[in-house]
Structure 1
Amino acid sequence: MSYDGKIMRRASARFDADRRRREEAFRRRQEQVYARAPRLREIDAELTATMSRIIVSALRKGSDPRPAVAVLRDGNLSLQQERVQLLADLGFSPDYLEYKPACPLCGDAGTKGEAACVCMKRYYAEEQQAELSRTLDLAGQSFDTFSMDWYDQTPDPVYGISPRENMETVYEVCANYAHAFKKHGGNLLLYGKPGLGKTFLSAAIAGEVSAAGFSVVYDTASHVFSRLEDRKFGRDEGESLEEDVERIMRCDLLILDDLGTEMTTSFVQSALYEIVNTRLLERRSVILNTNLSPEELARRYGAQIGSRLEGEYQILPFFGRDIRRLKKERG
């Protein structure tokens, strides 16, 4: 799993802010209790000071502090009993003044060893979805809200099946792709005329995959090529450019929308080849959305691209009537 640096920084900042709020809330609660029973502050200070001295001494000697802490706990039994009684007199449980981290797995560190803890992954997934929601309607464009009612059941003379039958297959492939992304990944080519559901199903995949904690970049092909061109010709020396290119090339799933609507130049041809080939070699997934057929893509971007699309991508045709027009006609 690859993490988007920009998204992870946002997730970490929110994680840290939430932890600080919990800690501050605990300190306020602690002060309220101490105000009602000042003796509790004295007991806690004595226990903390003694424990700190023992731990520091043990570490200085290179020994395990845990046995010494256990001795301290037994030796201060009377203080602990007094503490429990004072809390009980106030109507509180024995552990009321013990800070409990929100995540027992990492103690609110956000990491376990060198890996992100599941609690941090949840924050990352939320920030990832927030990022995608800026350009996609993740709530409205999901597998649950997709409707087959817009697809005709009359067989198409070119494909030999109806748009409805075709879309049932396409839907199943896309849903399985999203649900099994962790195990399989892979690449999809969604092609057909505008208004047939390519962006809708791509958004549904993006929502599902990002919710599972994977890094997803959804962008138009023209904007991606523009950022790569800026890097090549040094038009933008800022960190944001390098970060954008890193996101494009290293995310777990890259979704390029509207491929073929940009001005096709030799640079665009080479940039698309770089994206497709590099991500194939590194086993990073790509979904391409285009109005062009595989044959038209090969003519526009070159035989090498055509060969890789044919050999490495699952090709899904979209055909039928423009759903946007149908919705407008039906009011």
Structure 2
Amino acid sequence: SFNDWQVDKQPNQAKARELGNQAFKLARQLETNQFNVALAGGPGVGKTSLALAIMYQLMSVGQTAMFVSTAELLRLVNEKYEAPDVRERLNYVLKDMKKVDVLVLDDFGTEGGKPTEKGLYKPVHKDLRTLMYDVANARWNLNINDGKLATIITTNNTRSQLENMYSGQTIDRLYTKDTSCQLLFDNMEGVRSV
């Protein structure tokens, strides 16, 4: 929850407080409006914590929500050929990803692996690209060219890096261009103690 957001863990407490306040305001707006939110920055800076706080806030007002690790989603996609039960589980996950009020895609982009020597990212597994496009498209209202269900992504990648991994159409439907809906964890330090 937002009560768990600990600004004192960050050396830049003013920036941490600002990000927490921005996330809270977006959560309140999402109670009555559907739009996408992107939390971008380095690993361990609190993106997932704030995404979960937004999700829990929306669940507290009756919205349905789902948290998906994209790395785990890739694992399921890879294993679906070898295990019928995994294929069935993946179909259930996909169905729910398309219809929940709030979908959190955590660590979006890690499934693309590490960049090449030239700093470019290879496209993700074809089946995952197709799956993610289907999800993004189902959550998008084509009639008004706007989101109909809220999608929150956390990522260590830039928008252009994600476009290298997926298609521009998929990223256009997932990664908001509205800067007021982007929480950028620039100059924040990873505080994960693992």
Q: Is the shorter-chain TM-score for this pair beyond 0.5, marking a shared fold? A: yes
**Structure 2 letter corresponding to 1:259:** F
Matching of residue 152 in structure 1 with residue 11 in structure 2: yes
SS of residue paired to 2:93: helix
Q: Which residue of 1 aligns with 2:191?
A: 323
Contact 2:38 2:176 in 1 (8 A): no
Matching of residue 295 in structure 1 with residue 163 in structure 2: no
Q: CA deviation at 1:229?
A: 6.8
Q: CA deviation at 1:250?
A: 0.7
SS of residue paired to 1:196: coil
Residues 210, 151 of structure 1: CA spacing in aligned structure 2 closer, same or farther, 3 A cutoff? same
Query: Relative to total residues, which structure has the larger strand share, 1 or 2?
Result: 2
- Segments of structure 1 that go 5 or more residues without pairing to the other structure are 1-141, 154-163
Contact 1:227 1:245 in 2 (8 A): no
Q: CA deviation at 1:256?
A: 0.9
Match of 2:101 among 232, 245, 252: 252
Query: Relative to total residues, which structure has the larger helix share, 1 or 2?
Result: 1
Aligned length: 175
TM-score by length of 2: 0.74
User: Relative CO higher for 1 or 2, CA cutoff 8 Å, sep ≥ 6?
Assistant: 2
Q: CA deviation at 1:305?
A: 3.2
**Residue identity (%):** 23
Whole-Å separation in 2 of the counterparts to 1:241 and 1:268: 11
When the two chains are superposed, the root-mean-square deviation of aligned CA atoms in Å is 3.0
Contact 2:139 2:149 in 1 (8 A): yes
SS of residue paired to 2:30: coil
Whole-Å separation in 1 of the counterparts to 2:160 and 2:11: 26
**Structure 2 letter corresponding to 1:271:** L
Matches within 5 A, 1:258-273: 258-263=107-112, 264-273=124-133
Q: Which residue of 1 aligns with 2:148?
A: 283
Residues 190, 252 of structure 1: CA spacing in aligned structure 2 closer, same or farther, 3 A cutoff? same
- Segments of structure 2 that go 5 or more residues without pairing to the other structure are 113-123, 142-146
**Structure 2 letter corresponding to 1:197:** G
Q: CA deviation at 1:204?
A: 1.0
Q: Cα deviations across residues 110-147 of structure 1 (Å, max 9, x unaligned)?
A: xxxxxxxxxxxxxxxxxxxxxxxxxxxxxxxx211212
Higher Cα radius of gyration: 1
Contact 1:219 1:255 in 2 (8 A): yes
